Structure formats: C-alpha cells, structure tokens
Amino acid sequence: MTDHHSDIDSVTGRSTTGHEWDGIKELNTPLPRWWVVTFYLTIVWAIGYWLVYPAWPLISSNTTGMFGFSSRADVAVELANLEKIRGDKMVALGAASLADIEKDPALLALARAKGKTVFGDNCAPCHGSGGAGAKGYPNLNDDDWLWGGTLDQIMQTIQFGARSGHAKAHEGQMLAFGKDGVLKGDEIVTVANYVRSVSGLSTRKGYDAAKGEKIFAENCVACHGDGGKGNPEMGAPNLTDKIWLYGSDEASLIETISLGRGGVMPAWEGRLDPATIKAMAVYVHSLGGGK
C-alpha cells in the first residue's frame, strides 16, 4: 500500500490525493462534514420513500407503500369533490328556464363554461372545436338552422338528435331522386341549376328555367317549400340563402339530388344529464347564430 499521506504539497503545506498528472498533483480538499452527512441523509430519506410510497415494480403489480397511497385514488377524490362543489350550481342551472339562463350573467357564464367543456368532449369531433362545422356537419355559429335555431329547438335537437333512432328524433331526409329513378339525368342537371338560380348563383348556358321550376314544383316543394325557403319541421334547408351544408357548386348539387342526404346527429338524452344538455343548448345558442 502506498502511503499517500506522507505526500504533502510543499507550497501550500496541504496533503494531496496522491494523483499525479504530468507532474501536477491534486490537493486534497475534502467536503465539509455537514455536507457529507446531508448526502447520507438523502440516501436514508430515499429508503423512506420506498417504504411509504409505491415504488418497486413487481411482475403484475407494484409495491403499494405503507399507507396505500395512490395518485389515481387522489384524483378520484378530487373529482368527486369537484362534482359536489358543482352540484348546487348545476341544480340551479337545471331549475332555470333556458331564457332565464341567458338573462342571468352568472348562470350564463356557468352554462357557457360547462357547455364549452362538454362541447369539446362530445361535439367537437364532428362540429369542430369552435362549432365551425365541416361539409355535412353544420356550422353552429351561423344563423342557418336545419331544425330551428331558437333555444328550445336547439335543445330538442341535442336531446333527441336527428335520424338518431331515438323515438323523438328529427326524421325526414333528402331523397335519392337519381338513384331511385324518380328523376332522369338531364332533369337532375336542370333542377340543380334551378336551385342555384334561386339563391342568386350563376347557371349553366342553355339551362331551361321554366323546366327547372316545373321539376322543382313537382318534386321539391313538398319539403323545401314554395321558392325553396326550407322548412325546419322537416329539416329541409333554405335553398335561397348563402349557406350550403354540402356545397353549392353544380356537381355537389347533382350529387345531393341524385344520391340524397341524411346526416345523423346522435341523441344525447341519457348520455348527458338534463342540466348539462341545457348548458349545451345555451352554449350553442350563444355561439352567435341562435335566434
């Protein structure tokens, strides 16, 4: 064994570690005692952690710790507490009428906050995070409503859906005039151009307006009404405005008339509680398009 300690640096008079690199020796500068003690204490503390908290993975589970702590259980408790806190407020929301909710700033703020989160969880996949919609999925920010845009009508649509299979669901759909052989190809083109003309869009060269009006009157007026103003009872859209769920170009219209349309809105009754559905209705109404 080499005795390093006889190796005292002549300049400083201090001991060296005995290590030498290219003639340079390292002075021994030990840590203060409390530092070393603290270091050991942290190791002891770590062992305490193993015992108190879940720590070691086992084959199919893990050690649970002395007090059975689990962060998942903590979350469950927190969520339950949150529900309790929200409870009273949601009861107030459930008791108020839809119109009253919009008039009371506190209830409106609550309904909008609740509606926004629930909308994000349930509605955003089809309607978009802000209700902007997409082709086939209505934009909820505009003032065009297939099934009506009053608070009650919006709530009804959310509650029972459209073509959802629910007994009270909105029924009625765009028929497949081409596929079912009701209209022939040239008739479909003509009526498509007629539909474009009623909302002020350009029409194909050589299109016969009189024939288009006749076909429309015979086949479409029943649902879309005289002049194509639509009918919320049937879910038949207004064809004279600037909003088109499936597109306003000729090709899209031909596709719609030939194959029919019938998007499905699920019924939320049973999946969401009544107060939440109310909040949803207020939220959607307050997006800006509500009537």
Partner 1 sequence: MDGAASGLGLIAPVKKYQAMNKIVNPNELTSDDDYGPLYAARKKVYPQSVSGTFRRIKWGLMAFCLGFYYLLPFVRWNRGLGAPSQAVLIDLPNSRFYFFFIELWPQEVYYFTGLLIVAAVALFLMNSVGGRIWCGYLCPQTVWTDLFYAVERLIQGDRRERMKKDKSSDPMRLERILEIVLKHSIWLLIAWWTGGAWVLYFNDAPTLVKELVTFQAPMIAYAWIGILTATTNVLAGFMREQVCVYMCPWPRIQAALTDEWALNVTYRYDCGEKRTSVKKAAELRALGEQVGDCIDCYQCVAVCPTGIDIRNGPQMECIQCGLCIDACDNVMAKIGRPKRLIGYDNDINIHRRQEGKAPVYRIVRPRTVAYSAIIAGVGGIMIYTLATRSLLDVNVLHDRNPVAVRLSDGSIRNAYTVRLLNKSGYDRVIAIDANGPVNATIHVIGVDSVTPDRPMIVIPRDSTSELRMLVTAPAQSNPEKSILVRFHVTDIGLGEAASATDNFVAP
Contacts with partner 1, 227-266, as mask; x by CB under 8 A: -----------x--xxx-----------------------
The minimum distance between CB 158 and partner 1, in angstroms, equals 18
Q: Count the Cβ atoms, other than its own, within 10 Å of residue 146.
A: 22
134: left (phi over 0), alpha (psi -120 to 50) or beta: beta
Contact residue for partner 1 among 90, 93, 96, 102 (CB under 8 A): 102
Q: Judged by CB, which is closer to partner 1: 164, or 278?
A: 278
Q: Judged by CB, which is closer to partner 1: 141, or 203?
A: 141
Classify 259 as helix, strand or coil: helix
Residue type, 14: R
Closest CA to 269 of 125, 129, 146, 122: 122
Whole-angstrom distance, CA of residue 15 vs CA of residue 22: 18
Q: How many residues bind partner 1 (CB under 8 A)?
A: 45
Whole-angstrom distance, CA of residue 112 vs CA of residue 192: 40
Contact residue for partner 1 among 10, 24, 30, 77 (CB under 8 A): 30
Q: Judged by CB, which is closer to partner 1: 100, or 171?
A: 100
Whole-angstrom distance, CA of residue 219 vs CA of residue 234: 15
Does position 179 bind partner 1 by CB under 8 A? no
Closest CA to 54 of 72, 42, 66: 66
φ, ψ of residue 143 in degrees (nearest 5)? -100, 20
Q: Judged by CB, which is closer to partner 1: 237, or 266?
A: 237
Does position 122 bind partner 1 by CB under 8 A? no
Contact residue for partner 1 among 55, 126, 132, 201 (CB under 8 A): 132
Contact residue for partner 1 among 21, 35, 56, 67 (CB under 8 A): 35
Q: Count the Cβ atoms, other than its own, within 10 Å of residue 151.
A: 21
Which residues lie near partner 1 (CB under 8 A)?
1, 4-6, 8, 12-15, 17-18, 28-36, 102-103, 105, 108-109, 112, 128-133, 139, 141-144, 238, 241-243, 286-289
